[in-house]
Amino acid sequence: MQKIGKLFIVGLEGDSLSAEELEAIKALKLSHFIFFKRNLVSKEQIESLLTKLNEKTGLGLRAVDQEGGPVVRLLPPLFPQLPSLYALAQREKPAEEVRNTAKLCAQNLKELGFNFNLAPVLDLADDKAPSFIRERSFDKESSLVAELGTIYIKTFIEEGLLCCAKHFPGLGGVDLDPHHSLPEKPEVTKDDLYPFVKAFEAGVPAVMTTHLVVKNIDDKPATFSPKIINMLRRELDFRGLVLTDDLYMKGAAISSFEERVLRAFISGHDLLLLCEDFWQSVIVIENFIKEAEHSYSLKELIAESLGRQNKVLNSFLPS
């Protein structure tokens, strides 16, 4: 039970670590962290923060959302300006542009000490899509999204960094933003799934689900749906890590925070993303550990998830 902290990717409060935060990280044996603008001030500060984390936790995921365009956590002069995926897809030689941009992104992330980029977005969207997804995806054409997404993924793998296909099973055609609401769609189409299928064939190490109800599959959001995870693992034969989107989002707020964390894990996710309130996350993780101590079935699921983690992370993180 000592490794339960590895099931969570946790957001930190600020640009340094207090003694209290370090003590909580040590007590819960947290290993994986996600970083936002609030945590990232300068190269020297980032190096200091990551060094301290690495000393306390050993090697683990150091994740950011560095998609390009409107969604980036690292800005100039800390990081090169990255065009959006949609902008890259509109250029004269999109495949070459995506490859070069992904390589630039991966190399700069590696230099700063990050090893996991929560990109690329494989939802189907164009310039007429809602603003929350409009520039974040390559295109509305499934074949083009699959082609460019695969290039992006293979480039990251070649550079030795983890990346993540998102948001499964696809936000294409949805009007509501899961950050603020719980969207629904009547069905998932073959076009929605095709970019993910090609990403899995390319060896993408992780996929992120989304807070979305697909009516013809389940009345539960994908975040809490064993049926969606079974589709991923059994029908589509995905062998990598499955992570939630941020469980602090309003689209996930269908129950108490403790219950949604537990339900997301039981549904089949390997990693639970807790991006916001660090101390609230600590309480939730403590409660999760207590629950696991008294549940044989939960212990079995934890062992399975940690086994998948070890298999994937050993391929990317130095021993």
Which residues are marked as active site? 179, 245
How far apart are alpha carbons 50 and 26 in whole angstroms?
15
**Residue 230, number of CB atoms within 10 A of its CB:** 14
- Exposed/middle/buried for 24, CB within 10 Å: 0-12, 13-18, 19+? buried
- In angstroms, the Cα distances linking 281 to 9, 246, 277 are 10, 12, 6
By the 8 A CB rule, do 115 and 50 touch? no
Alpha helices (H) along 16-131: 19-28, 43-57, 85-89, 94-112
Among residues 8, 53, 5, which one has the least CA distance to residue 29?
Answer: 5
Among residues 173, 239, 236, which one has the least CA distance to residue 210?
Answer: 173
- Exposed/middle/buried for 216, CB within 10 Å: 0-12, 13-18, 19+? exposed
Residue 165 carries which side chain, given as an amino acid letter? A
Among residues 88, 92, 43, which one has the least CA distance to residue 67?
Answer: 88
Helix (H/G/I), strand (E/B), else coil: 150:
helix
Per-residue tokens: 97: 């542009």
H or E element that contains 276: none
